[in-house]
């Protein structure tokens, strides 16, 4: 185990203010003191003066649930620590503060041909949040999850000491922190190995499938052929159409694939201004009828088969980022994201989940089915080799709690799990059954943080 240094000298803690916070799903608000330190010394000052009700880090608040909340305690927002401290354009290695966003890394790396190794469905995610949730992208089958591309991070431990953690020198602390949802310490900085690309466009093939069997067969077939692949699934389709989907698969384009006008600047990337969703959407806008219609239109407008379409990074990786605050569309009650994974061989569980969801008319427009590659060693990391299905349900959907309890049961029996960055309602005993390394994680936490300083609304609910 490497030396742990005394850590940054604690500076005076910056001001904090009482703030009501939610996750992206806007369910389960709670009020905490929110402080936004500008440097590690201020973070150390905040930890040293931490309140009894616990402390947790918060990045851009894109986890759907209450993972980055600490009701009655202190939330340390990291987005004021947002410097890219070095970038080597010959190797693609970036070092940065934990509050740097994936969008910032893209803006810094793309001009010299480097892209983030793993991108979730939004680039409005901090590096600290990406490590803490060990996020995955459309390339999990090929590239694994985010922490596999992190050579080191600097962690401020609950006792105020600081260490540079690498997977080689301290695998236990590294892999407890990757996926550990902020419960081992505050990540202050990290190195991220970017991946080389020749252009900033993706060459995309699309296939529309008729049912779940064809969807699964097509997805299985794409594993070896594409770096990125994912299916949008019509979760309300039933009977012979159950699981009908639109599968998009792709890889970064070569300069010769681009339209002549784009070849002049093949690495162009302009995230640009985003449209904002207005405040005050009423509840109930997304319901079985409207989502059923939207799903029908989305499915029908997709081509049966199309090859070689050139898409921008935004269109392929982050379509939802085009509209700021799109989460308001769900109205004041918010929405619950549900994502599970089950091992290969448990295809029947995916089918049953779709039968249960379509049978209950539980409306989700953003429904994604994907195949994961091998798990990494993260104690609480979500991905494992198998099928993952993600859905967004309006929180006010009638019968949703019972439906998701049923799905939990099926997933648990199949040796699967739900995702900690998204879950807002699984029961603690079910969660414990899903994560076999939870006891190891708790043991390490007890060693690092005997006083239980680090805590979130999520960790309290799930007794992590």
Ligand X SMILES: Cc1cc2nc3c(=O)[nH]c(=O)nc-3n(C[C@H](O)[C@H](O)[C@H](O)COP(=O)(O)OP(=O)(O)OC[C@H]3O[C@@H](n4cnc5c(N)ncnc54)[C@H](O)[C@@H]3O)c2cc1C
Residue 8 binding ligand X, by CB under 6 A: no
Confirm if 121 and 419 have CB atoms less than 8 A apart. Answer: no
Q: Please identify which residue in 126, 162, 209, 424 interacts with ligand X, judged by CB under 6 A.
A: 126
Interacting residue with ligand X among 8, 129, 292, 394 (CB under 6 A): 129
Q: Backbone phi, then psi, for 96, in 5-degree steps?
A: -160, 165
Q: Please tell me whether residue 410 adopts helix, strand or coil conformation.
A: helix
365 contributes a contact to ligand X by CB under 6 A:
no
In angstroms, give the least distance from the CB of 18 to ligand X: 18
Q: Does position 394 bind ligand X by CB under 6 A? A: no
- The one segment of 52-60, 279-287, 341-349, 445-453 that binds ligand X by CB under 6 A: 52-60
As a residue count, the chain comes to 464
CB of 320 to ligand X, least distance (A): 5
Query: Which region, judged by CB under 6 A, interacts with ligand X, from 54-62, 82-90, 103-111, 410-418?
Result: 54-62
User: Using CB under 6 A, which of the segments 27-35, 106-114, 120-128, 205-213 binds ligand X?
Assistant: 120-128
Pick 103 or 257: Cβ nearer ligand X:
103
335 scored as a contact of ligand X (CB under 6 A): no
Q: How far is the CB of 370 from ligand X (least distance, A)?
A: 9
Residues 156-185 that bind ligand X (CB under 6 A): 181-182
State which of positions 425-464 bind ligand X (CB under 6 A). 456
Reported in sequence order, the residue ranges of 271-353 that DSSP labels E, i.e. its strands, are 275-276, 305-312, 323-324, 335-343
Note whether 372 and 383 are within 8 A (CB): yes
87 binds ligand X (CB under 6 A): no
Both tokens of 141, joined, read 């089958």
Residue with tokens 């006010």: 396
C-alpha closest to that of 267 among 385, 115, 455, 159 = 115
Rounded CA separation 340/413 (Å): 12
* Residue 34 interacting with ligand X (CB under 6 A): no
Can you spell out the DSSP letters for 336-405? EEEEEEEETT-HHHHHHHHHHHHHTT---SS-EEEEE----S-SS----SEEEEEEEEETT-TTHHHHHH
**Which residue in this structure is represented by tokens 């922490």?**
147
Minimal distance, residue 24 CB to ligand X, in Å: 4
Q: Which of 21, 50, 67, 384 binds ligand X (CB under 6 A)?
A: 67
Spatial CB neighbours of 83, under 8 Å, sequence gap ≥ 6: 96, 97, 100
Of 419, 416, 460, which Cα lies nearest the Cα of 436? 416
Among 320, 348, 401, 446, the residue binding ligand X under the rule CB under 6 A is 320
Residue 186 tokens, joined: 């505050």
Applying CB under 6 A, does 141 fall inside the site for ligand X? no
Is residue 243 near ligand X by the rule CB under 6 A? Answer: no
Query: Residue numbers of the site for ligand X (CB under 6 A)?
Result: 24, 56-63, 67-68, 78, 98, 120-122, 125-126, 128-130, 132-133, 135-137, 181-182, 186-187, 320, 421, 456
């Amino acid at each position: 185990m490497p030396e742990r240094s005394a850590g940054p000298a604690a500076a005076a803690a910056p001001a904090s203010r009482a703030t009501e916070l939610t996750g992206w799903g806007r369910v389960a608000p709670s009020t905490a003191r929110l402080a936004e330190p500008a440097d590690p010394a201020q973070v150390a000052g905040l930890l040293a003066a931490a309140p009894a009700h616990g402390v947790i880090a918060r990045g851009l608040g894109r986890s759907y649930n209450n993972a980055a909340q600490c009701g009655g305690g202190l939330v340390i927002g990291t987005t004021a620590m947002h410097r890219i401290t070095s970038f080597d354009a010959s190797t693609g290695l970036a070092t940065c503060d934990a509050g740097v966003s994936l969008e910032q890394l893209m803006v810094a790396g793309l001009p010299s041909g480097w892209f983030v190794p793993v991108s979730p469905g939004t680039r409005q995610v901090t590096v600290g949040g990406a490590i803490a949730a060990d996020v995955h992208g459309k390339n999990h089958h090929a590239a694994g999850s985010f922490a596999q591309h992190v050579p080191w991070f600097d962690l401020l431990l609950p006792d105020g000491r600081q260490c540079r953690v690498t997977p080689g020198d301290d695998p236990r602390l590294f892999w407890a922190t990757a996926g550990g949802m902020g419960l081992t310490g505050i990540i202050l900085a990290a190195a991220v190995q970017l991946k080389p690309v020749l252009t900033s466009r993706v060459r995309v093939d699309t296939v529309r499938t008729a049912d779940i069997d064809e969807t699964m067969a097509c997805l299985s077939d794409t594993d070896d052929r594409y770096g990125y692949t994912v299916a949008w699934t019509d979760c309300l389709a039933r009977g012979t159409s159950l699981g009908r989907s639109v599968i998009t698969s792709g890889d970064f384009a070569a300069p010769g694939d681009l339209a002549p006008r784009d070849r002049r600047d093949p690495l162009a990337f302009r995230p640009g201004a985003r449209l904002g969703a207005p405040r005050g959407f009423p509840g109930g806008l997304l319901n079985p009828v409207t989502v059923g219609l939207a799903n029908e239109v989305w499915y029908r407008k997709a081509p049966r088969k199309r090859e070689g379409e050139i898409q921008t990074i935004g269109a392929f990786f982050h379509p939802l980022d085009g509209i700021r605050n799109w989460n308001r569309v769900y109205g004041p009650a918010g929405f619950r994201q549900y994502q599970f994974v089950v091992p290969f061989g448990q295809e029947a569980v995916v089918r049953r989940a779709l039968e249960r969801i379509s049978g209950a008319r539980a409306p989700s427009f953003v429904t994604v089915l994907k195949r994961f590659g091998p798990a990494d060693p993260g104690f609480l990391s979500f991905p494992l080799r198998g099928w993952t299905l993600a859905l967004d349900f309006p929180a006010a959907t009638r019968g949703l709690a019972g439906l998701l309890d049923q799905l939990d049961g099926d997933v648990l029996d199949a040796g699967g799990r739900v995702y900690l960055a998204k879950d807002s309602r699984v029961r603690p005993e079910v969660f414990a059954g899903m994560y076999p390394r939870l006891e190891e994680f708790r043991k390490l936490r007890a060693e690092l943080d005997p006083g239980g300083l680090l805590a979130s609304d999520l960790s309290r609910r799930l007794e992590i």
